[in-house]
């Protein structure tokens, strides 16, 4: 069986010594994927494609012309388009849809000789935090198969956790890369909004959506970021800022000033072992000479409502394109245009997606726009200003990634508000656009992974990565 390598550097060393080939690696992963089919991590495995691609990379390595990612076998979340391949966003409504172009991120990965091994299960249209809204069923956590993977990029996280590929891409709108990474004991990076192109990503909430990576090491996160980041003529929200060679510049950090949210230790909604773990790390950091201080964040209770009002509003607009006419599922019972719309959408979307389209339409409706949507935009601005002010004084904000570790499958499905509240610590970076990373920080008494999150200033991913590497060695 193929082993789980800590970083691409290890793989490259073994390739150099002639111990493995990329084709051999892909064959190993393919075997492991079928042996672990019960985890439900993949919606489709690109078996033949991946093998052909691996052979090409092997021959480029021999000729000495291989790119930076030669040896990287990567899985993509099923909302990231790859030309000539199906993409479903784990929804019935995209049944039969094949991408006619590739997303910029996929093009950039392939240009550097990564091999894409398959598309991963996720919450339907990335709406969820446990991968239970997927049309294809939940993904199981590899540590405990009765528990969720986290979401919405749950398949991507479990694919890496179970060693079914080396790294994976997810998308993070309100925590969907960071939270599953923390449930699976991995590194999950959400870069600054505007750092990585969204071209070819199936849109959920466009002012929040960002592509991120799920990896075992900070080095791999740095490498993937430098390959994927930077201006793209197809996404006008990208910042025209040069992309540093993140992976070559990881160095030990100087003493830092770190803030943590007081409420993450006082709130009854946070699991006691999650709190104890945070305290343990605060003490470790202090012992290492960093300044770590509690802060009060007066908008904490407004984070989740503001996020959900805005994300649902944007979703209701983005998802209006699924009409049973342009592409994807069309109800066989359609008789005319209106019944095509109604039936295709009623039958094609799952319950959670419908709930969000309805709520999003409501908050944008003429009578309620000012009361909800416009107000939430103002709250978003206040949250951004306050967060920026904190990050003027401190280098990082440290918070648990999630209030509790991976929970039982089926536990919260019945009460959506409980699920929404569990995004409390991830949506701050999403509302403000700040970069954030979830880092593995040990296990609880049941052996379930715990994650801690660091948030920093816009476009300071290098500092974030430097500190993360050091943090993992604490
Ligand atoms: N749990 C959040 C939501 O359902 C975040 C999802 C995401 O980041 N895609 O909106």
Distance (Å, rounded) from C-alpha 359 to C-alpha 364? 9
Number of alpha carbons in the 13 Å side-chain half-sphere of residue 239 = 12
Cα distances from 186 to residues 136, 150, 464, in angstroms, run 24, 12, 16
Atom number of ligand 1 nearest to Cα 128: 4
- Give the strand order in the sheet containing 210-215: 42-45, 115-120, 73-77, 167-172, 210-215, 187-190, 436-443, 449-455, 396-400, 257-261, 291-295
Within-domain flag for 209: yes
Cα distances (Å, whole numbers) of residue 75 to 38, 84, 159: 17, 16, 8
Pocket perturbation via mutation, ligand 1, pick of 120, 128, 205 by most ligand atoms within 8 A of CB: 128
120, 123, 149, 175, best to mutate for ligand 1 pocket (most atoms within 8 Å of CB): 175
Going from the Cα of 102 to the center of ligand 1, the distance in angstroms, rounded, reads 23
Classified as helix, coil or strand, 140 is strand
Total of domains in the chain: 1
Tell me if 187 is assigned to some domain. yes
Radius of gyration of the chain (CA): 21
pLDDT at 413 (0 to 100): 62
Q: Which of 77, 190, 256, 469 is catalytic?
A: 77
Mutation test residue for ligand 1: of 188, 311, 426, the one with most atoms within 8 Å of CB: 311
d(CA 273, CA 276): 5
Q: What pLDDT is recorded for position 245?
A: 97
**Cα–Cα distance for residue pair 407/238, rounded to 1 Å:** 36
Q: Is 102 a catalytic residue?
A: no
Task: Tell me, yes or no, whether 58 lies in a domain.
Answer: yes
| Tokens found for residue 294 | 């509690």
- 186-203 pLDDT, tens digit per residue, is 999 999 999 999 999 999
How many Å lie between the centroid of ligand 1 and the Cα of residue 432?
15
CA of 149 to the centre of ligand 1 (A): 14
The pLDDT assigned to 108 comes to 98
Give a yes or no: residue 239 inside a domain. yes
As a whole number of angstroms, the distance between CA 350 and CA 345 comes to 9
Residue tagged active-site, from 176, 247, 422, 468: 176
* Ligand 1 atom closest to 177 (CA): 8
The answer to whether residue 197 is catalytic is no
pLDDT of residue 14: 97
Q: In this structure, what token pair is assigned to residue 161?
A: 């956790």
172 Cα–ligand 1 center, Å: 7
Name the E strands within 109-200.
115-120, 167-172, 187-190
**In the structure encoding, which two tokens stand for residue 128, read together?**
């969820």
Query: What number of other Cβ atoms are within 10 A of residue 185's Cβ?
Result: 25
Ligand 1 centroid, distance to 27 Cα (angstroms)? 33
Element (H, E) at 224: helix 218-228
Cis omega before residue 152 (within 30°)? yes
Q: Which pLDDT tens digit goes with each residue over 85-111? A: 999 999 999 999 999 999 999 999 999
What number does the ligand 1 atom closest to the CA of 175 have?
A: 8
The CATH number covering residue 101 comes to 3.90.1300.10
Ligand 1 centroid from CA 195, angstroms: 19
CA 93 to each of CA 207, 341, 348: distance values in angstroms, whole numbers, following the listed order: 23, 12, 4
Cut 0.95: pTM above it: yes
pLDDT per residue as tens digits for the range 14-54: 999 999 999 999 999 999 999 999 999 999 999 999 999 99
Q: Which domain holds residue 65?
A: 8-248
Is 176 among the residues known to form the active site? yes
Instruction: Pick the closest to residue 259 from 287, 294, 286, 284 (CA basis).
Output: 294
Q: Is residue 236 part of a domain?
A: yes
Query: Does some domain include residue 355?
Result: no
Residue 117: which residues within 8 A CB-CB, separation 6 or more? Answer: 26, 29, 30, 33, 45, 46, 50, 73, 74, 75, 164, 165
Contacts of 254 (CB under 8 A, 6+ apart): none
Report whether 426 contacts 179 (CB < 8 A).
yes
Q: Which of 88, 91, 134, 152 is catalytic?
A: 152
Residues with CB under 6 A from ligand 1: 126-129, 152, 172-176, 204, 311, 423
In a domain, 456, yes or no: no
pLDDT of residue 275: 97
Decide if 373 is inside a domain.
no
Name residues of the chain where pLDDT drops below 50.
none
Phi, psi of 181 (to 5 degrees): -60, -40
């Amino acid at each position: 069986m193929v082993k789980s390598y800590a970083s691409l550097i290890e793989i490259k060393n073994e390739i150099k010594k002639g111990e493995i080939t990329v084709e051999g690696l892909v064959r190993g992963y393919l075997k492991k994927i079928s042996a672990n089919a019960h985890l439900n991590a993949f919606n489709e495995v690109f078996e033949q494609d991946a093998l052909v691609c691996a052979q090409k990379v092997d021959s480029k390595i021999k000729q000495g012309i291989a790119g930076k990612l030669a040896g990287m076998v990567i899985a993509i979340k099923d909302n990231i388009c790859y030309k000539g391949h199906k993409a479903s966003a784990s929804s019935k409504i995209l049944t039969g849809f094949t991408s006619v172009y590739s997303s910029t991120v996929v093009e950039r990965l392939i240009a550097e000789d990564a091999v894409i091994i398959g598309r991963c299960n996720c919450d339907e249209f990335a709406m969820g935090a446990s991968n239970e809204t997927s049309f294809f069923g939940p993904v199981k956590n590899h540590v405990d198969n009765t528990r969720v993977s986290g979401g919405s990029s749950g398949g991507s996280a479990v694919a890496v956790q179970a060693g079914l590929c080396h790294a994976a891409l997810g998308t993070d709108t309100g925590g969907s890369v960071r939270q599953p990474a923390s449930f699976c004991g991995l590194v999950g990076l959400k870069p600054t909004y505007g750092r990585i192109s969204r071209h070819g990503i199936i849109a959920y909430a466009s002012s929040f959506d960002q592509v991120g990576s799920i990896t075992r090491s900070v080095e791999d996160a740095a490498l993937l970021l430098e390959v994927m980041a930077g201006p793209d003529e197809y996404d006008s929200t990208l910042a025209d800022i040069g992309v540093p060679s993140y992976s070559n510049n990881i160095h030990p950090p100087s003493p830092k000033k770190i803030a943590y949210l007081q409420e993450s230790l006082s709130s009854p909604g946070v699991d006691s072992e999650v709190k104890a773990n945070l305290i343990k790390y605060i003490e470790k950091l202090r012992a290492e000479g960093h300044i770590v201080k509690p802060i009060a964040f007066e908008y904490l209770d407004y984070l989740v409502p503001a996020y959900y009002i805005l994300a649902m509003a944007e979703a209701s607009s983005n998802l209006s394109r699924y009409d049973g006419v342009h592409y994807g599922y069309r109800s066989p019972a359609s008789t005319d245009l209106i019944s095509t719309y109604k039936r295709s959408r009623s039958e094609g979307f799952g319950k959670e997606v419908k709930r969000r389209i309805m709520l999003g339409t409501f908050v944008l409706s003429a009578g309620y726009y000012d009361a909800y949507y416009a107000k939430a935009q103002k709250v978003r601005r206040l949250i951004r200003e306050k967060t920026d002010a904190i990050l003027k004084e401190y280098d990082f904000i440290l918070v648990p990634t999630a209030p509790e570790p991976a929970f039982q499958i089926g536990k919260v499905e019945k009460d959506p508000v409980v699920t929404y509240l569990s995004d409390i610590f991830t949506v701050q970076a999403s509302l403000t656009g700040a970069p954030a990373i979830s880092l593995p920080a040990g296990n609880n008494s049941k052996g379930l992974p715990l994650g801690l999150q660091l948030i920093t200033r816009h476009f300071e991913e290098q500092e974030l990565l430097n500190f993360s590497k050091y943090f993992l060695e604490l």
